[in-house]
Amino acid sequence: MRGLFYRVKRTAAHLARYRHIMSVLIKYGFEEAAGIVARRFRVGLGSKGFPTARREELAQTSPARRIRLAMEELGPTFIKLGQLLSTRPDLIPTDLVDELERLQDQVTPERPETIRQEIRQQLGAYPEELFETFESEPIAAASIAQVHRVRLKDGRPAAMKIRRPGIVRVIRTELEILEDLAALLKGRLRNGQTVDPQRMVREFAQAVLKEVDLSRERKNLQRFRQNFADDPTVHVPEVFEEYCSEGILTMEFIEGIKPSQVERLQAEGYDTKEIARRGADFVLKQVFDFGFFHTDPHPGNFFVMKGNVLAPLDFGQVGRLSRPDRQLMQAIVLSIVSGDVTRVLQGLERSEMLDEQTDLLDLRRDLEELLDTYSHLPLKDIPFREAIGRGFEIIRSHHIQPPRDFTLMLKCLMTIESFATGLDPEFQIIEHLKPYAKRFMLESVKPSGILRQLGRAAQGAGELAGRFPEDAAAILSKIRRGQFRIHIHHEHLEQLERTLDNSSNRMSFAIIIAALLIGSSLLVAQEGTVLGLMSLEALGVIGYLTAAAIGIWLLISILRGRRF
């Protein structure tokens, strides 16, 4: 009862937002979807007509673009949802991925006084007390946070990222609405559909709540700084921890040029080909050396400093790869080069990415066709982005379920290829990728790598052997007390039980019919009455009729497959 009251209260509080969502859906031509929401949450759509000119305009706009425009109008949470969906080409079509990548996250900045109060709440003092200077006009403003330039007391310039006041509450409310909409959508999906909207929303909720926690971004930044401490081609900004909190991140201010400003870079003497190579190396080291990577390495998240040094900026979205994930990536790369499908299939099965709906023969056929398209080409001529894009189509059509971070990694490699080719049109990421994959494979067969694997195996065996006496004693104790049970689950056992039950019932009715026929035949040939009320012959006829009725009923039930 309490849960029901909470749901009713929550829905009532969200009615205004539902109305806004429906009006935006209608505005961009998704009237059917708006109607479903209206019926589910008992919200009126209104009676305003839809102009003919507007219908004609929408007819000339692709559904993917209309989805992107609707998300931009629905605000911060839906923009973030779209941005995160754009990293999942294993779940949504390529044209929608391309549109969602264009989502704009520029919004009106908060008032200076509001920001001053937020800094005081987060750090315990106003900005003029903490810093030598504080620029009230932000240098960047997005839906979750905005960035201000400050100068520390020791004179060093810094960038202060400040979370928008109240944004966490807004996002949590929006996430509740998204959960309701996902449950509604899931109920309307066809059986066998592999996409689970509720699971997607839960994953999105976890990702966006991590992103609004700037203390988590600070830890990510510090880990990147440690990983690239000895790399002179990458400069990760320094963190000023005394000016950080859950809602504020203060870091070194970076002076540089955006990688997208190619003409300016060339005019000022930068080597754009070297910058492209360093950008690719920056990502590949993360994937194969650290298993910890920046999930969105687009040009807007970098500055290029003097000496062609790359400075990454936003660390809110990161992924983590297990060693099996990296081994699968190595298998994919080497399979593209060698045309060996078996290596990929083994990797997918080993990683448990295939479900019951996957037809291995069809999957092998599609993979062979894909690899045959590229295996005869020189390494430098293989279009990596196109190959991975076609791979995502196979993933969707064959119900393959890769881990989220593995998909993010593939999307990350596609993004860095676009980054690099924007600087050097002749750049081929697969030429850079293959040495990393080979080196990763060779490390696993080095004596030191083999020893590490044997060491882990020996440790696991030792722990198992150490626990064995206790586990065996516990099992024997339960056997002595009569508490030892073995639970066996057969996937289709209930169906077998029903089939046996139906068969036994039908057999029982057949025996009853046979008995009635035999008994009636004996009675019809006899003279006399039963208790002076009915002749034996009449009783036999009644037996025949009863047997006939039961027989017809049994025959019909067998033909219709009815269960007793």
pLDDT in tens, 390-441: 888 888 788 787 777 878 888 888 888 888 888 998 888 877 777 776 676 6
The secondary element (H helix, E strand) that includes residue 159 is: strand 157-163
Tell me: pLDDT of 165 over 50.
Answer: yes
User: Which of the two residues, 544 and 44, has the higher pLDDT score?
Assistant: 544
**Is the pLDDT at 564 greater than 50, yes or no?**
no
Cβ–Cβ under 8 Å, residues 337 and 282: no
pTM of the model: 0.67
Phi/psi at 150 (5° precision): -135, 165
- For residue 237, the model assigns a pLDDT of 94
Q: Are 308 and 269 in contact (CB under 8 A)?
A: no
531 in the Ramachandran plot: left (φ > 0), alpha (ψ -120 to 50) or beta?
left
E strands present in 255-413: 292-294, 302-305, 309-312, 318-320
Query: To 10 degrees, what angle do helices 429-445 and 384-397 make?
Result: 70
From residue 89, give the alpha-carbon distance in Å to each of 266, 327, 404: 34, 21, 11
Which of the following is catalytic: 90, 281, 296, 325?
296
- Residue 261's pLDDT band (cuts 50, 70, 90): very high
CA distance 308 to 135: 29
Verify whether residue 314 is a known catalytic residue: no
pLDDT tops 70 at residue 191 = no
Does the pLDDT value for residue 507 go beyond 90? Answer: no
What is the predicted pLDDT for the residue at 120? 95
Q: Which pLDDT band holds residue 563 (cuts at 50, 70, 90)? A: very low
Average pLDDT, the chain: 78
Strands (E), 215-366: 248-252, 292-294, 302-305, 309-312, 318-320
Of 488 and 364, the one with more pLDDT:
364
CA distance 252 to 167: 25
Res. 463: pLDDT tops 60: no
pLDDT at 208: 83
Q: Is 139's pLDDT higher than 80? A: yes
Residue with tokens 């500055």: 303
Q: What confidence tier does 323 reach under pLDDT thresholds 50, 70, 90? A: confident
pLDDT at 198: 77
Distance between CA 468 and CA 462 in Å, rounded? Answer: 10
CB 281 within 8 A of CB 233: yes
List the structure tokens of 126: 């106003």
